[in-house]
Chain A
């Protein structure tokens, strides 16, 4: 028995998919919207994106080095956080603000809670809301080129009208990565095709929100208004890329549907009755906090089990 062979518990083979591949797919899927943002808003947008990505990765690297933990920047998760945060900032954001938001996202929201897989809230959105609260004026300064207009949602709120085609294409004011519904949908289609996400969360989210707006939006069955609400603000980016964040959404299939419905309701409430025309970010981070509760009430019945009275 001089040379013992290697043993391990079954199974002895593994699928090719890795966490890094999945994160890389998310980066690829975000690129259409990000590239559109850079073309639309100009070089300043590119600077913001580069600063958030670089700062996020650097923060993760420095923290993990300093804490003597394995360095995990190779898994692309910090890149995703940085890119998403950048896409959630206006192109007019100064570099120090982009940097501050990234440090908050990676250090406070992600690493201090245990790193990848342990954060209770979407880091990019945590960073965005942190900046929103701290620098409200700068965060809503959508000025670009010579144009200093309000966002389409703000225009509608004030009773104005907007050009529907320009809006869906993304030629409007807004955050860097959220204006073009078309570009976001191209990325979402890629994620669906790759099997990275499915329709449960974004589907129920968007449908619930649409129904809510038809009922309570105050415009009745106005198609233009509905499309404007769907394509405007952060809804598309939020529904396809941030509500679907694995770590901060429920893992139970039924829970994902409940989560989507709650997101749709909250977004509708915030947009209709809140002080700001925007509501997606707060709806998502608020729902993130409900995830453990949602999971507790949606434990699936195992194969071959029948529902017992009063139990689960």
Chain B
């Protein structure tokens, strides 16, 4: 079978050998757990507990604030200590529920599920909505919204995004190797919603082990196949994934459903399985703690709300000074100014870099070499867009299709003059979006 791919992209050092062979280990949090009410795209969730209340594992502590929103569940048993604003990994301050862990892990009753065969479409989507599952690849878009397109019969592809093209991340890889039945099971739940769709588990070809295991796991599934993708960043970007597998091209004015596609991340799919089949709300996820600065790179089954500094300690702490600690991977993750932040539904990794390439490479003049053009998977001219950004020329920026940027960072990565192209483009995109809202 030919490996599928797209035009553009880059090949950064992937650092996956640091943690790819470390089995998933459950981590029991010691300190307080912090649950921001906004861990997703959409309206913040509304707290349904008060200071002093006792909560149990799997108890709902904040309710969805609308259709495009998602509830939050306690991941430990203990007492609500406060509801107050708290820093999260993106640097923002978000209203959060603080729970003191009593270490008893006393469980609340699960989600009200029926045997799968008896569930209707609405039952399934209702449970996914209730379980708090959101896109766990990073965006945090509520999954039940994604699964409710206008015309479900027009969906002919359900893609499970297991590309994991971000360097250092191995959480999806470990899930595929250790829990393939959950990936297949979760996908079968979603396929139940879309009668005319075929399911594709999409994996980059640098993970032969996972490909083998997943192929074996869906041997007897007529509606599911494994798609092998060429290893290249950003293969896991939604548009690139859809292009590689289906040949359809999505732009910024469309949703995947407009092209007959539903795309869900690997961990999202396993969480759908946990919710619909096992009746477990979303209270934990796999988090990779890796990077050259970490003593013992690990993959943890991490309870939501666990303190990041605590997780790094659990991975042996720093063996050398961490010049930069990133929530997520080095291409699109957020650098954190403080480690006293909680993990959330979208924290796929904590990457601790021993060298900070950004501050160590001084910026020089653009020589118009065109490397950013060759790397741009959206077919843009990042060097020009960055020039328009410096002049705040929003009109030219849009004329040169700047709003199509997916902020993958390839242009900044390849720039020999070390110009922060992606950052300059992001700035103007924010300005244009803000103007549109006016």
Task: Tell me the A residues contacting B by CB distance below 8 Å.
Answer: 1, 4-15, 17-19, 21-22, 72, 75, 77, 115-118, 246-247, 249, 251-253, 295, 299-305, 312
Contact = CB atoms under 8 A, between A and B. Distances in A.
A1 B13 CA distance: 32
Interface stretch (B209-217, B277-285, B420-428): B420-428
Contacts of A253: 373
Contact of A6 (B331, B356, B418, B422): B356
Contacts of B380: 300, 302
Contacts of B223: none
Contact of A17 (B254, B323, B409, B416): B416
A14 B357 contact: yes
Contact of B412 (A4, A14, A17, A19): A14
B361 interface: yes
A116 B363 CA distance: 13
Contacts of A72: 364-365
Contact of A302 (B379, B383, B407): B379
Contact of A5 (B331, B338, B414, B422): B338
B377 interface: yes
Given A4-B338, A12-B353, A13-B167, A19 B333 contact: no
Given A115-B365, A302-B378, A12 B373 contact: no
A217 B125 CA distance: 74
B392 interface: no
A303 B373 CA distance: 12
30 contacts: A5-B325, A6-B335, A8-B423, A9-B420, A9-B423, A10-B326, A10-B333, A10-B335, A10-B422, A11-B332, A11-B410, A11-B412, A11-B413, A11-B422, A12-B335, A12-B357, A14-B413, A15-B12, A15-B413, A77-B367, A116-B367, A246-B370, A251-B384, A300-B380, A302-B251, A302-B378, A302-B379, A303-B251, A303-B378, A304-B239
B426 A299 contact: no
B342 to A, nearest CB: 16
A250 to B, nearest CB: 9
User: Which of A247, A300, A301 has most B Cβ within 10 Å?
Assistant: A300
A304 B422 contact: no
A246 B239 contact: no
Interface string B368-381: 11110100011111
Contacts of B426: 9
A75 B357 CA distance: 19
Nearest to A75: B364
Nearest to A22: B416
Contact of B418 (A18, A116, A295, A302): A18
Interface in B205-258: 239, 243, 249-252, 254
B420 A17 contact: no
B381 A10 contact: no
A14 B361 contact: yes
Given A6-B323, A11-B422, A15-B416, 4 more contacts: A14-B361, A14-B412, A18-B417, A302-B379
Interface stretch (B103-111, B152-160, B396-404): B396-404
Contact of A305 (B251, B332, B410): B251
Contacts of A115: 365
B239 A303 contact: yes
Contacts of A246: 367-370
B336 A19 contact: no
Given A302-B404, A304-B249, A19 B337 contact: no
A18 B339 CA distance: 33
Given A14-B413, A15-B414, A19-B416, A7 B336 contact: yes
A6 B324 contact: yes
B431 interface: no
B330 interface: yes
A18 B254 CA distance: 37
Given A13-B167, A14-B412, A117 B337 contact: no
B372 to A, nearest CB: 9
A14 B358 contact: yes
A124 to B, nearest CB: 15
Contacts of A12: 324, 326, 330-331, 333, 335, 353, 356-358
Nearest to B13: A13
B404 A11 contact: no
A143 B187 CA distance: 79
User: Which of A15, A247, A312 has most B Cβ within 10 Å?
Assistant: A15
Contacts of B435: none
B333 to A, nearest CB: 6
B330 to A, nearest CB: 4
Nearest to B322: A5
B91 interface: yes
B359 A8 contact: yes
A148 to B, nearest CB: 41
Contacts of B366: 117
Given A10-B333, A11-B412, A251-B370, A116 B401 contact: no
A12 B334 CA distance: 9
